[in-house]
Amino acid sequence: MSDKLLIGPKLRRFRNSLGLTQARMAEDLGISASYLNLIERNQRAMSAKVLLKMAGVYDFDISAFSDAGDAQLVASTYEALRAPRFRDMPVSKNEVEDVVGISPNIARAFQSVLKTQGTMTTPTDDSSPRAVDIVRDFIQSNSNYFPEIDETAEALCEELGLRRSEPRTALTERLKSRHDTAVQIVPTNVMPDMLRWFDRHNQRIHLSELMSQSSRRFQLAVQIGLLEQREMFDAHLDRAKITGREARGLARTSLANYFAAALLMPYAKFLREAEATRYDVELLSHRFGTSFEQAAHRLTTLNKPDARGIPFFFLRIDIAGNVSKRFSAGKFAFASQGGACPIWNIHESFTDPGRLHTQMVQLPDGATYFSIAKAVKRAGEMHGAPAQRLAIALGCDVSYAPRLCYSKDFNLDEPTPAPIGINCYLCERQHCRQRAHPPLAKSLMFDERARGMSLYRWVPD
């Protein structure tokens, strides 16, 4: 954290959300009302000391007053402004950051207007692409943390004694005793295109024989969540005003998956083990009987205000670079369209499956991150039908790297990160050897006498 921050608009919005006058907040913080007024008008910077005291008094995440909280909104707004229609009105990323810093709702309204104007080409709220965006925004807006679901799942974990018995056995018994539902492992020729199917008429859950033990446990936990906690899930969706059949269905499934992870990896226990193992994802997956992907994703949900884990970002891509899941923590931002930067070694994990790849990377704004990546296989592999291969990336700000077991071979005092971008369309690094596309809204230059490392060169701003 820098020693001083210009956060006037954010501070004013925060004070108004609490219903406090300047005089009352100034009294709580031990400063004068006139000084607080100057801070809110950005005529004085807020010191880190005052910010820390405010965090203690009002119990909030201090990162909400850094640029980190608006990073994804800045990235998505900047991406929207790079569209061809704005070619004659170039807007810099710094200008976008200024607008978001003063009023993030203006940026959100701007994006909403663009979607409304593009009705002929923009998916409706109940279309599949739009539903995915709605659910991603819903999870991101909650920082991928749902305390009520965590608490409910942790209580059930204790009730079932999952840490003392084999989880699949305990989950199977729960389904039988509470819901009169049996579990059956089904041959692939009987259920060739599904991994789990709940036969309501016969009160039977069918699980594919192709699934691993960890996947079977997880799917049973998902089904228990849908049977027992549907009202709680829907209450979350109602509060978030998520409408439309597809959006609600996808969001409910996401919350059921969250519940399953919280049931198998209860918050307090998982956080203690994560800290004890220095966030060894593979070891955590063994201790809790889950897959690498499930353990990695669970690490992104440890955002309880008084018991936080490392703020990780998460990315999942296929071998063609398509992003199927992403969550941004801290200042790391993902583009809504396009794949990941080819310099990021998440792609290399496909060439060496099973090995965990580590890397330090740096975005054009100078933010540096430590990341790990590993290729995994989905269930379903058999002769003539290869399983889906995916790469999972987990990362955090480099300042957290000393807490990771993976950083021991890196010189953190003098880091040499790999320069990456969000993706080629939004990255403005000249002379990149891996560039696949020119950046949006840039005027290209061509010199027939020369050929650079990249085909694309453009007029600097």
Q: Which pLDDT tens digit goes with each residue over 33-43?
A: 999 988 888 88
Extract the tokens encoding 128.
């599949």
Burial class (CB in 10 A: 0-12, 13-18, 19+), 299: buried
pLDDT digits (tens, 9 = 90+) for 399-452: 999 999 999 989 888 888 988 887 787 777 888 888 888 877 677 777 778 777
Which residues are CB-contacts of 422 (< 8 A; sequence separation ≥ 6)? Answer: 75, 333, 334, 335, 341, 363
Q: 8-18 vs 22-29: helix axis angle to the nearest 10?
A: 100
Please state, in angstroms and rounded to a whole number, the distance separating the CA atoms of residues 344 and 421: 9
Residue with tokens 């210009």: 6
Side chain identity, residue 78: Y
pLDDT score of 116: 58
State pTM to two decimals. 0.75
Beta bridge partners of 390: 318, 376
**CB neighbours (10 Å) of residue 178?**
11
Report percent pLDDT > 70 for the chain: 88
CA distance 76 to 111: 8
| Alpha-carbon gap, residue 65 to 63, rounded angstroms | 5
Alpha-carbon distance of 394 to 315, in angstroms, equals 7
Highest mean pLDDT among 195-199, 220-224, 432-436, 439-443: 220-224
User: Would you say 429 and 364 are in contact if contact means Cβ atoms under 8 Å apart?
Assistant: yes
Of the pLDDT bands very low, low, confident and very high (cuts 50, 70, 90), residue 1 is very low
Distance CA 245, CA 248 (A): 5
List CB contacts of 55: < 8 A, sequence separation 6 or more. 61, 62
